[in-house]
Amino acid sequence: MIEVRGLVKSFGSKVALEGVDLDVAEGEFLTLVGPNGAGKTTLIRILATLTRPTGGSVRVAGYDLAGQGAEIRRRIGLASHQTLLYGDLSAEENLRFYGRMYEVPELEERITALLQRVGLEHRRHDLVRTLSRGMQQRLSLARALLHDPAILLLDEPYTGLDQQAVEVLREVLVALAPPKLGGMKGGAKSRTVLMTTHNLERGLELCDRAAILVNGRLVHQADKSDLDVVSFTQAYRRHLHVSRFTFDVGVGR
């Protein structure tokens, strides 16, 4: 579903991604972890066609990023730590606007169903700026799912949420996850999910594969069957330590 080959992205002299190769199969839930500045958000932004890569090739849902951006955008939903919602429009008006932009059929029914799914039906007429951060994040997820995308990109969805909001969001994500991971039957059976997070525990709980991105490179990948939280955490710390050591030596020179 997602094929990334030799992906490079640089901002001037700063290299954010350095030859990333990544495959995500249809229906797979991949969690990508890494420290701040590892390149996770840059990778998500490139897959979402928001940032142009410097080199390499990317195919999403069989479409090439270089010339078929609109086709890719039709098939992806993005939820990031920014809500992408208009504070001065109500929850319902926000979803209606995005629904019109995505040409969602039977939009009103879809809006009602999604607001119920994320538990915001009772706040549908409230302005988004009056909702709590957790509610806004749930509404942001509803916006990302509005056009029923085959691919869901989640960029640090837990950022800035309190414990209760994290739990509520987790329940929504569990419902989205493939049935083998506890998700609802039918709704998400073929949805591909790529999530970036700092939160190892949350990230590993839902995924069926996890990868570590450090300094713009994919340094470790593990399937759910071979993966336990302790060994993956150790691997993560080891790679972080190596990257810090390399950085320190580089600076020292």
Partner 1 sequence: MSFLRKVLAIVQKDVAVELRTREMLSSMFVFSLLVIVIFSFAFELRVENVREVAPGVLWVTFVFAGMLGLSRSFVLEKDKGCLEGLLLCPVDRSAIYFGKMLGNVIFMTIVEAIILPIFSILFNIFLFQPVLLLIVVLGTLGFAGVGTLFSAMAVHTRSREVMLPILLFPVVVPAMIAAVKATGGILDGQPFSEIAHWVRLLAVFDVVFLAISFMTFDYVVEE
Contacting positions for partner 1 (CB under 8 A) = 45, 48-52, 70-71, 73-74, 76, 78, 80, 82-89, 93, 97-98, 100-103, 143
Q: How far is the CB of 76 from partner 1 (least distance, A)?
A: 8
User: Can you read off the two tokens belonging to residue 197?
Assistant: 């997070």
Q: How far is the CB of 102 from partner 1 (least distance, A)?
A: 6
Q: Which is nearer to partner 1, 54 or 112 (CB)?
A: 54
Non-local (6+) Cβ contacts of 76 within 8 A are 47, 48, 60, 61, 149, 150, 151, 152, 153
Please state, in angstroms and as integers, the Cα–Cα distance from residue 236 to each residue in 46, 98, 184, 241, following that order: 24, 38, 31, 9
Q: How far is the CB of 79 from partner 1 (least distance, A)?
A: 11
Q: Which is nearer to partner 1, 149 or 178 (CB)?
A: 149
Q: Which is nearer to partner 1, 73 or 110 (CB)?
A: 73
Q: Which is nearer to partner 1, 73 or 239 (CB)?
A: 73
CB-CB contact of 180 with 188 (8 Å): no
Q: How far is the CB of 94 from partner 1 (least distance, A)?
A: 9
Q: How far is the CB of 236 from partner 1 (least distance, A)?
A: 28
What is the H or E stretch that residue 64 is in?
A: strand 63-64
What would the 3-class secondary structure string for 168-226 be? HHHHHHHHHCCHHHCCCCCCCCCCEEEEEECCHHHHHHHCCEEEEEECCEEEEEEEHHH
Q: Which is nearer to partner 1, 105 or 250 (CB)?
A: 105
